[in-house]
Amino acid sequence: MGAYRFLLTGKWIGWFLVACAAAAVSVQLAGWQMDRNDHLSGENTKIEQNYGAEPLSGAEAVGQFAAHDASLTWHPVQLTGEYLPDDQVLVRNRPQDGRVGYDVLVPFRTDAGQVVVLDRGWIPTGDAANGMPGQVPAPPGGTVTVSARLQPGEPPVDRGAPEGQIASIDLQELQERWGYPVGTSAFGEVFGEEPAPANAPAPAPVPEIDSGPHLSYSLQWYAFAALFFVAFGYAARQQARNDEWDRQYAEEMERHLSQYYDADGNYIGEGDEELVIRQMEMADDMPPHLKSLMRPKPQRRRTRPTWEDEEDAVLDALEQQGTGARD
């Protein structure tokens, strides 16, 4: 362990603390990616279980808009009532099919009297240069049976919007805008209306089930955390090896100098002392990759005897037998 005593110096303790800090950050990022993977897996499970399920109806369906069960996101509901088209609102900046457009929100009063928010679908921006929507398909009048899928409300965003538009499906903001109670826990994405209108907004696309790269990113961050310590250990091993080479170099220089100087420092060489001094100065000024050429090569350990060793052992044995016979 004496070769690694340098690890107790301030420099190497500092590098070890840097490795610990880097590993801690990597583990934190790995956990964050794992949380995202778990969330995405949970969303995929909801889609698989709920998207094609039998619709909820009646009070059970209406109750989800006021107190939404997150495990029922994407679950179909069936409502009967009438649209309130005078309070229609457009949600701006909604991409679909590679284009930007609007979602059409219309309040819907059920036959039991509760008002819920329904997203009738998506419309593209108009042909005008101002990017405003073109014609908005009107909802069917009178009593309508609507099929929709539950979605939680969206958080508010700090962006303004023109008259008749909003920046996100913030159900609390819609309730304040309309001035009457609505379900503020969930809204519905419409995928069917009976009677069906002649023209309707495009329904929301089928959601993709995708695991994403979060699991692999998480494993990569865990690997990075381990690699910081591997790198620290490798650097320490190289430092110990270089220190050993330096000690060998110093011993070689000392042996070389002993040919020219005695223990008292007197010059005992046969040549010009000035030439010896210049040679030593040149050796000290060598870059490390050249100085290593003067280091003695470490002897390679042999794990098994060579054939020369075996032959010598046989001869020694025969010689000992002959000696014993003469005695």
pLDDT in tens, the chain (327 residues): 678 888 999 999 999 999 999 999 999 999 999 999 998 888 899 999 999 999 999 999 999 999 999 999 999 999 999 999 999 999 999 999 888 899 999 999 999 999 999 999 999 987 665 567 778 999 999 999 999 999 999 998 888 788 889 999 999 999 999 999 999 999 999 999 999 998 999 999 998 888 889 999 999 999 999 999 999 999 999 999 888 888 887 787 778 777 778 777 788 877 787 877 777 777 666 666 555 555 444 445 555 666 666 666 766 666 666 655 555
Would you state the pLDDT for residue 296?
Answer: 47
Residue 170 has a pLDDT of: 94
Contact 105, 90 (CB under 8 A): yes
Quick count: other Cβ atoms within 10 Å of Cβ 30? 19
In the numeric block, the tokens 């309730």 are attached to 175
pLDDT for the residue numbered 194: 95
Place of tokens 């010896």: 276
Token look-up 């223990």 returns 263
Q: What is the pLDDT of residue 284?
A: 66
Q: What is the dihedral of CA 213, 218, 219, 224, to 10 degrees?
A: 120
Q: Indicate the domain borders of the chain.
A: 1-51+223-300, 55-194
Tell me what pLDDT residue 299 has.
46
102: tokens are: 């609007």
**Separation of alpha carbons 235 and 230, rounded Å:** 9
For 236, counting Cβ atoms within 10 Å of its Cβ (0-12 exposed, 13-18 middle, 19+ buried), the class is middle
| pLDDT at site 308 | 66
- The H or E element containing residue 34 is helix 10-50
Phi and psi (nearest 5°) for 211? -75, -25
The model's pTM: 0.65
